[in-house]
Amino acid sequence: MDSVGLMPNGSSNVIKTNFTNSMNVGGLHSDSMSGTLLLHIDCCRVDMEGKTNDVHDIHLRAMKAAEIINMRHGWEQPQEIRNMRKAELAEDCEHILTDMQQFNIDRYFNLLRMKGYEVKPRYDKQRKLVGYTVGKNASVFKASEIGRKFMASKIEDTWKKLHPQPTQVKTKPVSPSVAPAPRPVRPVVQTQTASQPKAQPQIAQTAFTINIGDGVKKVWIPNSVKDVFTNEVQIPEDNDIATTENVAHVAMLLFAGYIDAATSMSESCGGGGSAPSSGWGKKDDEDDWKFAHRCAQMAHSMCKPKPRYRFRR
C-alpha cells in the first residue's frame, strides 16, 4: 500500500501512505458465501511521526497493491479472472438458448441455476422484467456486461436468431395445358370416405428405447419437449438407487401413455410404484410442454420409496 503513489485533484505532488510506521491491526477471513479470502486493515490516520495518512481513493491504492502482489507471485490479475468467467458465462447463456425449443425466460433462469449460477431478476411495478444479474464464485455480472444480446429487452430476439424459421418460397403458378379430346369427359367428383382419412401434420419426434426389465419399449417423444425429460427431472432425496435417467424414462413412458410400464419402471429403481389415478392423461386444453412437466412431476412422485414405519411394542 505504501508503495502506491496517487496524485489527488489540485495537487502537483505524488502522495503516499505511511501505514508501515502507523499503528494498525489486520484480519484475514473467508467470505461466508463464496469462500473468497478477505483482508481487513484498521490503521491509525496519524503515523508515529505525527503526519496524517492520506486516504484519498484508498480503494484504488488497495487494488494497485493487489496487482503488485499478483505480479510478484505470477498470479492471474483479478480483471483477467473476471474476463475469463464472463466469457464462460456468455458461452453457457448461448448454449442454453440454443437448446431451448420454446422461449421461456423463467426456464432460462432455472437452467442457469442448474449450472450453479445465482440469478437475480429485477422487475418494475407492473411485474415486467427490466434486468437481471448472474453470479458465480464471487463474480456478479449484469446482463449488459455478459453481452448486449443477453439483456432483458433483447434476449427473446437473440433466441429467435438462434432458431430461424424456414422461409417460404413462393412459386409462380404454371398455366395449365389442355389437351384436345375427341369427346367431352364428364368429371367425376371424388368424395372423401372413411377409408381415406385426412392427412395429419407430421411432428418431429425422437425415439427412445427403454428397458423396463421384462422387455424393451420404443417410445417416441416430440423434439419440442424431450429436453424436459433429459434436463429437468430430479431424483427424490430419499432414493439412493434411482438415477436421473431412470426418472426421465418413467416420465417418457407416462407421456406416451404406457402407465403399467411406467409403474414397473419406477418400482425397479427403488420407487414405491404408486400408479397415477384413473383420470391421468393429457387434458384437452393442455399443450405438450405443460403435459411433459406434469409427467416429470408424477415420475418424481412415483420414484419416491415407500415410507418406513416403526412399530413399538
Return the pLDDT at 171: 55
Helices (H), the chain: 58-73, 78-99, 105-114, 143-146, 155-162, 226-231, 244-256, 259-268, 288-302
Q: Which has the closest alpha carbon to 110: 227, 1, 7, 16? A: 227
Computed over its alpha carbons, how large is the radius of gyration of the chain? 33
3-state secondary structure of 291: helix
Return the pLDDT at 60: 84
Mean pLDDT by 10 residues, the chain (313 residues): 83 87 92 77 92 86 85 81 88 92 92 91 89 86 92 92 73 51 54 53 71 71 80 80 85 86 84 78 86 88 76 53
User: For residues 170-200, b (16+ Cβ closer than 10 Å) or e, as one string?
Assistant: eeeeeeeeeeeeeeeeeeeeeeeeeeeeeee
Return the pLDDT at 210: 76
Residues 274, 238: Cα–Cα separation, whole Å: 16
